[in-house]
């Protein structure tokens, strides 16, 4: 299957996600690799094959392809690592924490006790908002 994994990143540097090395799963429009600096064991990145920065610029087909691989990898990580939960996250833009300008979805397995208090989950990107009052 043909893929577009060669487009360079900005500033003339090669995109670390456009190399075929490290791909662990793929479909026609997207692929998966494990994060080189994982938050937890099994932390996977799901990416479109086409190089672009903004998640909201994905075609409907690319959305479907990426999210199909999220499900595939969830099942694989569950079978291999037996996590207690997952965080799924996407950083869009520098001010949201995106550091590599090739769209990627983080699939982060979570394990009981990996943090003292997981309440608030992805709300932790703004620490003061993570522990909101119970209703």
Active site residues: 104
Spatial separation of the C-alpha atoms in residues 51 and 56, rounded to whole Å: 13
Query: CA dist 79 to 29, 73, 88, 112, Å?
Result: 25, 10, 18, 17
Spatial separation of the C-alpha atoms in residues 20 and 64, rounded to whole Å: 21
Inter-residue contact 53 to 101 (CB < 8 Å): yes
Q: Which two tokens stand for residue 7?
A: 């487009």
């Amino acid at each position: 299957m043909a893929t577009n994994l060669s487009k360079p990143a900005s500033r003339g540097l090669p995109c670390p996600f456009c190399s075929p090395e490290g791909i662990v799963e793929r479909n026609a429009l997207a692929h998966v690799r494990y994060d080189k600096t994982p938050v937890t064991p099994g932390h996977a990145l799901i990416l479109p094959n086409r190089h672009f920065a903004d998640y909201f610029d994905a075609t409907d087909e690319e959305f479907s392809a990426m999210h199909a691989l999220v499900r595939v990898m969830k099942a694989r990580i569950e079978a291999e690592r037996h996590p207690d939960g997952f965080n799924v996250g996407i950083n869009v833009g520098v001010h949201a924490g995106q550091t590599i300008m090739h769209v990627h979805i983080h699939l982060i397995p979570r394990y009981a006790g990996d943090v003292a208090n997981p309440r608030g989950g992805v709300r932790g990107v703004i620490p003061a908002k993570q522990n909101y009052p119970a209703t």
